[in-house]
């Protein structure tokens, strides 16, 4: 069983109708779960306090978000990443984000109290937010606040990020922390935002070897992605031996997501979720805290995160999408949505250059492991 964290206030984290990071993504998941007959009670967590936000963010940055909420227009807002095309200013940003952070943090507390082993936060995953600035649709870093709480509790934390984009904010906040392992799988930063996440970023000081990045070639498909995952993630977790696994489960590495160029299918995501649960069982005493993240094609995120939910709840994955749901969300689903929860197989014709791409991915993994072994031996 899995505890589900959500509350209606999450919908307040909304950059506006033209912005891709829209709260309707979560509403569609909740409705799909309900239409499939698998609705479970959700737990409404308290908002994070200002002090809890300050456990990872600078006071000056938080004060800037608060000033913008009061309607002030400080000229230096953009220096904090606010009021940019990615992070436009919206009403009540501070409280809206604190609800999300509070949910992820509450999930962490349930795990620390020992009352739960699996928590799914239906929101959050704001992995780009940095100590002193907003970045890439992320205002406060809910993942980092939760990780900080685990660390203060004395736990070793493994962070696993399967979003399309590098989990740069979390990596940077714990880059020299010997109790935090960060593992990110993403499309290579040579092309894609945020431009980091290269295999040479290995952590510093006592945390050397505890920052692990697997950058993939554009157009990488499921098989090559899962192969790299198996080559790196299990042995890294075994080596580090964490007490909890924190997972940012962005869905934008799907082939239909236009934010980038990775090409996973829903079947690959299900496989990833099952492996993550197995690995949490083998290396983290079964404790896993999962958040959402990126994902910008409504019909894709709804299906993928429903599969995530069903997998975490140990429920069977039904074949078909309910007609009622398809009808209700028609205006957001577009023409590409099929009749099934999973992608059709094959989901798309093969991209040219697959062998070359897979070889390059394997070479990257080999170089990464060469570097990591120096710190593990």
Active centre residues (catalytic): 128
SS (H, E, C) 53-116: HCCCCCHHHHHHHHHHHCCCCCHHHHHHCCCCCCCCCCCCHHHHHHHHHHHHHHHHHHHHHCCC
Stretch that binds another protein, among 188-196, 228-236, 267-275, 303-311 (CB under 8 A): 188-196
Query: Is the Cβ of residue 175 or residue 193 nearer to another protein in the bound state?
Result: 193
* Contact string 192-231 vs another protein (x = CB under 8 A): xxxxx---------------------xx------------
340-369 residues near another protein, rule: CB under 8 A: 348-352
| Cβ proximity of 195 and 189 under 8 Å | yes
Assess 292 for contact with another protein (CB under 8 A). Answer: no
- Residues facing residue 186 across a β-bridge: 215
* Contact string 137-166 vs another protein (x = CB under 8 A): x---------------------------x-
Q: How far apart are CA 275 and CA 278, in angstroms?
A: 5
Shortest separation between residue 199's beta carbon and another protein, angstroms: 15
Assess 75 for contact with another protein (CB under 8 A). Answer: no
Q: How far apart are CA 140 and CA 91, in angstroms?
A: 15
Longest dimension (CA), the chain: 57
Shortest separation between residue 86's beta carbon and another protein, angstroms: 5
Assess 131 for contact with another protein (CB under 8 A). Answer: no
Query: Is the Cβ of residue 58 or residue 86 nearer to another protein in the bound state?
Result: 86
Query: Is the Cβ of residue 20 or residue 234 nearer to another protein in the bound state?
Result: 20
Phi, psi of 270 (to 5 degrees): -60, -45
Side-chain-side CA neighbours of residue 143 (13 Å): 38
Shortest separation between residue 247's beta carbon and another protein, angstroms: 21
**Residue 181, both tokens:** 């392992």
Which residue's entry shows tokens 């100590």?
Answer: 131
- Interface residue list for another protein (CB under 8 A): 20, 78, 81, 84-86, 128, 130, 135-137, 165, 168, 189-196, 218-219, 255-256, 258-259, 261, 263, 348-352
């Amino acid at each position: 069983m899995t505890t589900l964290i959500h509350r209606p206030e999450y919908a307040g984290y909304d950059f506006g109708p033209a912005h891709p990071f829209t709260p309707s993504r979560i509403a569609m998941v909740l409705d799909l779960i309900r239409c499939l007959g698998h609705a479970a009670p959700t737990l409404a967590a308290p908002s994070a306090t200002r002090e809890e936000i300050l456990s990872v963010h600078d006071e000056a940055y938080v004060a800037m978000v608060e000033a913008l909420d009061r309607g002030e227009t400080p000229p230096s807002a953009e220096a904090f990443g606010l009021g940019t095309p990615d992070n436009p200013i919206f009403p009540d940003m501070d409280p809206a984000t604190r609800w999300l952070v509070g949910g992820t943090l509450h999930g962490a507390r349930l795990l620390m109290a020992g009352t739960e082993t699996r928590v799914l936060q239906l929101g959050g995953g704001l992995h780009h937010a940095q100590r002193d600035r907003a970045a890439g649709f992320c205002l406060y870093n809910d993942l980092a606040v939760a990780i900080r709480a685990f660390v203060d509790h004395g736990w070793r934390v493994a962070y696993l990020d399967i979003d399309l984009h590098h989990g740069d904010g979390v990596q940077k906040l714990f880059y020299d922390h010997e109790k935090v392992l960060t593992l990110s799988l993403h499309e290579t930063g040579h092309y894609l935002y945020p431009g980091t996440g290269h295999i040479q970023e290995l952590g510093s000081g006592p945390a050397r070897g505890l920052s692990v990045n697997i950058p993939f070639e554009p157009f990488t498909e499921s098989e090559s992605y899962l192969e790299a995952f198996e080559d790196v993630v299990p042995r890294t977790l075994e080596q580090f031996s964490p007490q909890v696994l924190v997972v940012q489960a962005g869905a934008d590495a799907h082939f239909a997501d236009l934010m980038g160029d990775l090409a996973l299918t829903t079947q690959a995501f299900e496989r990833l979720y099952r492996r993550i649960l197995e690995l949490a069982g083998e290396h983290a005493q079964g404790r896993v805290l999962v958040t959402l993240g990126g994902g910008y094609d409504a019909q894709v995120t709804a299906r993928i995160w429903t599969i995530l939910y069903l997998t975490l709840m140990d429920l069977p994955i039904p074949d078909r999408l309910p007609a009622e749901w398809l009808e209700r969300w028609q205006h957001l689903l577009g023409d590409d949505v099929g009749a099934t929860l999973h992608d059709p197989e094959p989901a798309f014709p093969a991209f040219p250059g697959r062998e070359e791409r897979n070889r390059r991915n394997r070479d990257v993994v080999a170089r990464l492991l060469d570097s990591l072994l120096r710190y593990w031996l």
